[in-house]
Structure 1
Protein backbone atom coordinates (compact mmCIF):
# COMPACT_ATOMS: atom_id res chain seq x y z
CA UNK A 1 0.00 0.00 0.00
CA UNK A 2 1.40 3.37 -1.07
CA UNK A 3 1.18 6.49 1.05
CA UNK A 4 1.88 8.77 -1.92
CA UNK A 5 -1.81 9.46 -2.89
CA UNK A 6 -2.73 10.24 0.72
CA UNK A 7 0.27 12.54 1.19
CA UNK A 8 -0.49 14.30 -2.12
CA UNK A 9 -4.11 14.78 -1.08
CA UNK A 10 -3.15 16.19 2.33
CA UNK A 11 -0.56 18.51 0.79
CA UNK A 12 -3.18 19.70 -1.70
CA UNK A 13 -5.60 20.48 1.12
CA UNK A 14 -2.92 22.35 3.05
CA UNK A 15 -1.84 24.40 0.02
CA UNK A 16 -5.45 25.13 -0.98
CA UNK A 17 -6.41 26.05 2.56
CA UNK A 18 -3.34 28.24 2.89
CA UNK A 19 -4.15 30.07 -0.35
CA UNK A 20 -7.75 30.55 0.76
CA UNK A 21 -6.52 31.87 4.12
CA UNK A 22 -4.04 34.26 2.46
CA UNK A 23 -6.28 35.54 -0.33
CA UNK A 24 -9.67 34.95 1.28
CA UNK A 25 -13.03 34.38 -0.31
CA UNK A 26 -13.21 36.62 -3.42
CA UNK A 27 -16.86 37.48 -2.72
CA UNK A 28 -16.39 38.17 0.97
CA UNK A 29 -13.43 40.45 0.28
CA UNK A 30 -15.81 42.92 -1.38
CA UNK A 31 -17.75 43.25 1.86
CA UNK A 32 -16.93 45.62 4.66
CA UNK A 33 -18.14 46.91 7.97
CA UNK A 34 -20.47 49.94 7.98
CA UNK A 35 -17.82 52.01 9.75
CA UNK A 36 -15.26 51.07 7.07
CA UNK A 37 -17.59 52.31 4.33
CA UNK A 38 -18.97 55.41 6.04
CA UNK A 39 -17.14 57.38 8.68
CA UNK A 40 -19.84 59.62 10.09
CA UNK A 41 -22.50 57.89 12.12
CA UNK A 42 -25.28 60.01 13.61
CA UNK A 43 -27.58 59.19 16.52
CA UNK A 44 -31.17 58.24 15.73
CA UNK A 45 -33.82 56.98 18.14
CA UNK A 46 -36.97 54.98 17.62
CA UNK A 47 -39.49 56.09 20.24
CA UNK A 48 -41.95 53.28 20.78
CA UNK A 49 -45.61 53.89 21.53
CA UNK A 50 -45.09 52.73 25.12
CA UNK A 51 -42.31 55.31 25.60
CA UNK A 52 -39.36 52.93 25.35
CA UNK A 53 -36.51 54.19 23.19
CA UNK A 54 -34.25 52.17 20.89
CA UNK A 55 -31.06 54.03 19.95
CA UNK A 56 -29.21 53.57 16.66
CA UNK A 57 -26.16 55.03 14.95
CA UNK A 58 -26.91 55.68 11.30
CA UNK A 59 -25.36 56.88 8.10
CA UNK A 60 -27.45 59.54 6.37
CA UNK A 61 -28.20 58.81 2.71
CA UNK A 62 -29.65 62.06 1.39
CA UNK A 63 -28.18 62.27 -2.12
CA UNK A 64 -29.26 60.21 -5.12
CA UNK A 65 -25.92 58.38 -5.25
CA UNK A 66 -25.97 57.55 -1.53
CA UNK A 67 -29.54 56.25 -1.73
CA UNK A 68 -28.73 54.24 -4.86
CA UNK A 69 -25.74 52.58 -3.19
CA UNK A 70 -27.47 52.01 0.13
CA UNK A 71 -25.88 49.19 2.11
CA UNK A 72 -24.45 47.38 -0.92
CA UNK A 73 -21.33 45.36 -0.06
CA UNK A 74 -21.63 46.04 3.67
CA UNK A 75 -20.94 42.66 5.26
CA UNK A 76 -21.63 43.63 8.87
CA UNK A 77 -23.81 46.08 10.73
CA UNK A 78 -23.40 46.61 14.43
CA UNK A 79 -26.49 45.54 16.35
CA UNK A 80 -27.78 49.11 16.50
CA UNK A 81 -26.40 50.56 13.28
CA UNK A 82 -28.21 51.36 10.08
CA UNK A 83 -28.80 53.72 7.19
CA UNK A 84 -31.33 56.56 7.20
CA UNK A 85 -32.67 57.40 3.74
CA UNK A 86 -33.96 60.92 3.10
CA UNK A 87 -36.04 61.40 -0.05
CA UNK A 88 -36.94 64.63 -1.83
CA UNK A 89 -40.64 63.83 -2.01
CA UNK A 90 -43.19 61.77 -0.14
CA UNK A 91 -44.25 58.86 -2.36
CA UNK A 92 -44.47 55.08 -2.25
CA UNK A 93 -40.85 53.89 -2.23
CA UNK A 94 -39.48 50.61 -3.56
CA UNK A 95 -36.21 49.05 -2.39
CA UNK A 96 -34.36 46.07 -3.78
CA UNK A 97 -31.59 44.00 -2.27
CA UNK A 98 -29.08 44.10 -5.16
CA UNK A 99 -25.53 43.41 -3.95
CA UNK A 100 -26.68 43.35 -0.33
CA UNK A 101 -24.70 40.84 1.72
CA UNK A 102 -26.81 40.77 4.88
CA UNK A 103 -30.53 40.42 5.69
CA UNK A 104 -32.22 43.73 6.47
CA UNK A 105 -35.34 45.18 8.02
CA UNK A 106 -36.66 48.37 6.43
CA UNK A 107 -38.76 50.80 8.45
CA UNK A 108 -40.76 53.07 6.13
CA UNK A 109 -41.37 56.48 7.72
CA UNK A 110 -43.73 59.31 6.71
CA UNK A 111 -42.99 63.06 6.71
CA UNK A 112 -44.14 63.28 10.35
CA UNK A 113 -41.45 60.72 11.31
CA UNK A 114 -44.01 57.99 12.04
CA UNK A 115 -43.24 54.38 11.09
CA UNK A 116 -46.02 53.43 8.64
CA UNK A 117 -44.78 50.00 7.48
CA UNK A 118 -41.97 47.54 8.15
CA UNK A 119 -40.41 45.02 5.77
CA UNK A 120 -38.72 42.33 7.86
CA UNK A 121 -35.80 40.00 7.20
CA UNK A 122 -35.35 40.81 3.53
CA UNK A 123 -32.87 38.24 2.19
CA UNK A 124 -29.46 39.29 0.86
CA UNK A 125 -28.94 39.16 -2.89
CA UNK A 126 -25.33 39.05 -3.98
CA UNK A 127 -24.82 37.07 -7.15
CA UNK A 128 -22.42 36.88 -10.04
CA UNK A 129 -25.30 37.41 -12.50
CA UNK A 130 -24.99 41.07 -13.59
CA UNK A 131 -28.68 41.24 -14.41
CA UNK A 132 -29.65 40.63 -10.76
CA UNK A 133 -33.22 40.05 -11.89
CA UNK A 134 -33.91 37.62 -9.08
CA UNK A 135 -33.30 40.02 -6.18
CA UNK A 136 -36.25 40.74 -3.95
CA UNK A 137 -38.12 44.05 -4.15
CA UNK A 138 -40.19 45.58 -1.37
CA UNK A 139 -42.32 48.71 -1.30
CA UNK A 140 -43.78 50.90 1.38
CA UNK A 141 -47.48 50.41 2.01
CA UNK A 142 -48.05 54.18 2.17
CA UNK A 143 -46.30 57.30 0.94
CA UNK A 144 -43.06 57.88 2.83
CA UNK A 145 -40.32 60.49 2.96
CA UNK A 146 -37.79 58.42 4.92
CA UNK A 147 -36.65 54.84 5.42
CA UNK A 148 -34.40 53.18 7.97
CA UNK A 149 -32.45 50.03 7.07
CA UNK A 150 -31.29 47.97 10.04
CA UNK A 151 -30.03 44.44 10.64
CA UNK A 152 -32.61 41.81 9.69
CA UNK A 153 -34.66 40.73 12.69
CA UNK A 154 -33.78 43.82 14.75
CA UNK A 155 -37.24 45.42 14.46
CA UNK A 156 -38.88 42.32 15.92
CA UNK A 157 -36.16 41.79 18.54
CA UNK A 158 -36.47 45.39 19.78
CA UNK A 159 -40.27 45.47 19.58
CA UNK A 160 -40.30 48.21 16.92
CA UNK A 161 -43.73 48.51 15.35
CA UNK A 162 -45.96 50.59 13.10
CA UNK A 163 -46.88 53.82 14.89
CA UNK A 164 -43.49 54.28 16.56
CA UNK A 165 -41.73 57.58 15.81
CA UNK A 166 -38.21 58.50 14.75
CA UNK A 167 -36.06 61.15 16.39
CA UNK A 168 -32.93 62.15 14.52
CA UNK A 169 -30.33 64.29 16.31
CA UNK A 170 -30.64 66.98 13.61
CA UNK A 171 -34.39 67.31 14.32
CA UNK A 172 -33.62 68.51 17.84
CA UNK A 173 -31.08 71.18 16.83
Structure 2
Protein backbone atom coordinates (compact mmCIF):
# COMPACT_ATOMS: atom_id res chain seq x y z
CA UNK A 1 0.00 0.00 0.00
CA UNK A 2 1.38 3.42 -0.92
CA UNK A 3 2.30 6.05 1.67
CA UNK A 4 -0.60 8.29 0.58
CA UNK A 5 -3.11 5.49 1.09
CA UNK A 6 -1.83 4.90 4.64
CA UNK A 7 -2.20 8.59 5.41
CA UNK A 8 -5.79 8.52 4.13
CA UNK A 9 -6.63 5.37 6.13
CA UNK A 10 -5.13 6.75 9.34
CA UNK A 11 -6.78 10.15 8.83
CA UNK A 12 -10.15 8.46 8.27
CA UNK A 13 -9.84 6.46 11.48
CA UNK A 14 -8.79 9.49 13.51
CA UNK A 15 -11.53 11.74 12.09
CA UNK A 16 -14.14 9.02 12.55
CA UNK A 17 -13.13 8.65 16.19
CA UNK A 18 -13.19 12.40 16.74
CA UNK A 19 -16.64 12.67 15.19
CA UNK A 20 -17.95 10.21 17.77
CA UNK A 21 -16.24 11.88 20.72
CA UNK A 22 -16.58 15.61 20.06
CA UNK A 23 -19.13 17.37 22.23
CA UNK A 24 -19.96 20.95 21.36
CA UNK A 25 -19.37 22.85 24.55
CA UNK A 26 -17.12 25.84 24.00
CA UNK A 27 -18.01 27.83 27.07
CA UNK A 28 -14.48 28.99 27.72
CA UNK A 29 -13.71 29.80 24.10
CA UNK A 30 -14.08 33.02 22.16
CA UNK A 31 -16.25 33.24 19.03
CA UNK A 32 -13.39 32.06 16.82
CA UNK A 33 -12.71 28.66 18.30
CA UNK A 34 -11.10 25.50 17.08
CA UNK A 35 -13.56 22.66 17.48
CA UNK A 36 -10.79 20.30 18.57
CA UNK A 37 -10.01 22.56 21.54
CA UNK A 38 -13.50 22.53 23.05
CA UNK A 39 -14.56 18.94 23.59
CA UNK A 40 -16.20 16.93 26.29
CA UNK A 41 -16.18 13.14 26.22
CA UNK A 42 -19.47 11.50 27.12
CA UNK A 43 -19.22 7.73 27.47
CA UNK A 44 -22.63 6.86 28.92
CA UNK A 45 -25.90 8.78 28.51
CA UNK A 46 -27.26 10.20 31.76
CA UNK A 47 -30.84 9.19 31.01
CA UNK A 48 -32.30 6.41 28.94
CA UNK A 49 -35.60 8.01 27.99
CA UNK A 50 -35.95 10.61 25.26
CA UNK A 51 -38.80 12.52 26.89
CA UNK A 52 -39.63 13.54 30.44
CA UNK A 53 -41.78 15.89 32.44
CA UNK A 54 -40.05 18.57 34.45
CA UNK A 55 -41.61 20.74 37.07
CA UNK A 56 -40.22 23.99 38.38
CA UNK A 57 -41.19 25.28 41.82
CA UNK A 58 -41.37 29.06 41.51
CA UNK A 59 -42.85 31.07 44.39
CA UNK A 60 -46.08 29.25 45.25
CA UNK A 61 -46.58 27.84 41.75
CA UNK A 62 -45.45 24.62 40.09
CA UNK A 63 -44.81 24.90 36.36
CA UNK A 64 -44.92 21.67 34.32
CA UNK A 65 -42.82 21.33 31.16
CA UNK A 66 -42.69 18.38 28.76
CA UNK A 67 -39.13 18.09 27.49
CA UNK A 68 -37.13 16.18 24.97
CA UNK A 69 -33.88 14.94 26.49
CA UNK A 70 -30.68 15.75 24.59
CA UNK A 71 -28.13 13.53 26.31
CA UNK A 72 -26.01 12.33 23.44
CA UNK A 73 -23.78 14.10 20.96
CA UNK A 74 -26.13 14.03 17.97
CA UNK A 75 -29.13 15.31 19.94
CA UNK A 76 -27.06 18.09 21.50
CA UNK A 77 -25.63 19.20 18.17
CA UNK A 78 -29.08 19.48 16.58
CA UNK A 79 -30.97 20.77 19.64
CA UNK A 80 -33.96 22.85 18.53
CA UNK A 81 -32.40 23.86 15.20
CA UNK A 82 -34.69 24.22 12.18
CA UNK A 83 -37.92 24.02 14.20
CA UNK A 84 -40.48 26.62 13.26
CA UNK A 85 -42.44 26.30 16.50
CA UNK A 86 -42.42 24.83 20.00
CA UNK A 87 -45.55 24.21 22.07
CA UNK A 88 -45.75 26.65 24.97
CA UNK A 89 -45.16 24.10 27.78
CA UNK A 90 -42.53 22.14 25.84
CA UNK A 91 -38.77 22.41 25.82
CA UNK A 92 -35.48 20.59 25.48
CA UNK A 93 -33.25 19.53 28.36
CA UNK A 94 -29.53 19.19 27.59
CA UNK A 95 -27.90 16.71 29.98
CA UNK A 96 -24.13 16.64 30.50
CA UNK A 97 -21.87 14.32 32.47
CA UNK A 98 -20.20 17.09 34.44
CA UNK A 99 -20.83 20.55 35.74
CA UNK A 100 -19.03 23.40 33.97
CA UNK A 101 -19.75 26.68 32.25
CA UNK A 102 -22.04 26.02 29.28
CA UNK A 103 -22.20 27.96 26.05
CA UNK A 104 -25.00 27.98 23.50
CA UNK A 105 -25.60 29.78 20.24
CA UNK A 106 -28.67 30.20 18.08
CA UNK A 107 -27.32 29.35 14.65
CA UNK A 108 -30.03 27.68 12.53
CA UNK A 109 -32.52 28.10 15.38
CA UNK A 110 -35.69 29.65 14.00
CA UNK A 111 -37.50 30.56 17.23
CA UNK A 112 -36.43 32.80 20.14
CA UNK A 113 -35.74 30.92 23.36
CA UNK A 114 -35.10 31.33 27.08
CA UNK A 115 -32.07 29.36 28.34
CA UNK A 116 -32.16 28.12 31.93
CA UNK A 117 -28.84 26.85 33.30
CA UNK A 118 -29.24 24.29 36.08
CA UNK A 119 -26.65 22.88 38.51
CA UNK A 120 -26.13 19.35 39.84
CA UNK A 121 -28.62 20.03 42.67
CA UNK A 122 -31.31 20.93 40.11
CA UNK A 123 -31.29 24.63 41.05
CA UNK A 124 -31.53 27.25 38.32
CA UNK A 125 -28.24 29.13 38.51
CA UNK A 126 -28.52 31.43 35.49
CA UNK A 127 -31.14 32.50 32.93
CA UNK A 128 -30.69 34.03 29.48
CA UNK A 129 -34.06 35.44 28.38
CA UNK A 130 -35.40 36.11 24.91
CA UNK A 131 -32.35 34.82 23.05
CA UNK A 132 -32.99 35.60 19.40
CA UNK A 133 -32.25 33.40 16.37
CA UNK A 134 -28.94 34.09 14.66
CA UNK A 135 -29.54 35.22 11.09
CA UNK A 136 -25.92 35.67 10.02
CA UNK A 137 -22.39 34.84 11.14
CA UNK A 138 -20.81 35.42 13.52
CA UNK A 139 -23.42 34.18 15.99
CA UNK A 140 -23.04 35.29 19.62
CA UNK A 141 -22.44 32.75 22.39
CA UNK A 142 -24.65 32.73 25.48
CA UNK A 143 -22.50 31.47 28.36
CA UNK A 144 -23.68 30.52 31.84
CA UNK A 145 -22.32 32.74 34.59
CA UNK A 146 -21.31 29.69 36.64
CA UNK A 147 -20.99 25.93 36.11
CA UNK A 148 -24.12 24.05 35.02
CA UNK A 149 -24.85 20.37 34.43
CA UNK A 150 -28.15 20.90 32.61
CA UNK A 151 -29.54 23.49 30.23
CA UNK A 152 -33.27 23.84 29.65
CA UNK A 153 -34.47 25.59 26.49
CA UNK A 154 -38.05 26.90 26.46
CA UNK A 155 -39.97 29.45 24.40
CA UNK A 156 -38.87 33.06 24.80
CA UNK A 157 -41.10 34.73 27.38
CA UNK A 158 -41.90 31.47 29.20
CA UNK A 159 -39.54 32.32 32.06
CA UNK A 160 -40.99 35.81 32.56
CA UNK A 161 -44.61 34.69 32.13
CA UNK A 162 -44.17 32.01 34.81
CA UNK A 163 -42.02 34.13 37.15
CA UNK A 164 -39.18 31.58 36.97
CA UNK A 165 -36.01 32.91 38.59
CA UNK A 166 -32.50 31.96 39.66
CA UNK A 167 -32.71 29.72 42.72
CA UNK A 168 -35.89 27.91 41.67
CA UNK A 169 -35.82 24.11 41.92
CA UNK A 170 -36.25 21.89 38.86
CA UNK A 171 -37.66 18.38 39.40
CA UNK A 172 -37.23 15.62 36.82
CA UNK A 173 -39.94 12.97 36.41
CA UNK A 174 -39.43 10.38 33.64
CA UNK A 175 -42.47 9.56 31.53
CA UNK A 176 -43.71 6.01 31.89
CA distance in 2, matches of 1:60, 1:150: 13
Are 1:157 and 2:167 matched, yes or no? no
Q: Which of 165, 169, 172 is residue 168 of structure 1 equivalent to?
A: 172
Which of 78, 83, 97 is the equivalent residue of 1:88? 97
- Give the structure 2 partner of residue 75 of structure 1: 84
Q: CA deviation at 1:126?
A: 4.2
Cα distance in structure 1, aligned partners of 2:63 and 2:141? 27
Contact 1:122 1:136 in 2 (8 A): no
For the pair 1:112 / 2:116, whether they are aligned, the reply is no
User: Which of 22, 40, 55 matches 1:45?
Assistant: 55
Contact 1:46–1:167 (CA under 8 A) maintained in structure 2:
yes
Higher helix proportion: 1
Q: What TM-score do you get using the length of structure 2 for normalisation?
A: 0.68
TM-score, normalised relative to structure 1 = 0.69
CA displacement at 1:65 relative to structure 2: 1.3
Report if aligned partners of 1:113, 1:165 keep a CA contact under 8 Å in 2: yes
Shift of 1:165: 0.8
The answer to whether the 8 A contact 1:117-1:142 is kept is yes
The separation in 2 between residues aligned to 1:118 and 1:52, in whole angstroms, is: 18
**1:169 alignment partner, SS class:** strand
> Aligned residues, how many?
127
Runs of 4 or more above 6 Å deviation: none
Secondary structure of the corresponding residue to residue 149 of structure 2: strand
Q: Please list every run of 5 or more consecutive structure 2 residues that lacks an aligned counterpart in the other structure.
A: 1-49
Residues 110 and 144 in structure 1, CA contact (< 8 A), matched pair in contact too = yes
Q: Which residue of 2 aligns with 1:147?
A: 151
Question: In structure 2, which of residues 112, 134, 138 is the aligned counterpart of residue 134 of structure 1?
Answer: 138
3-state SS, counterpart of residue 146 of structure 2 = coil
Q: Is the radius of gyration larger for structure 1 or structure 2?
A: 1
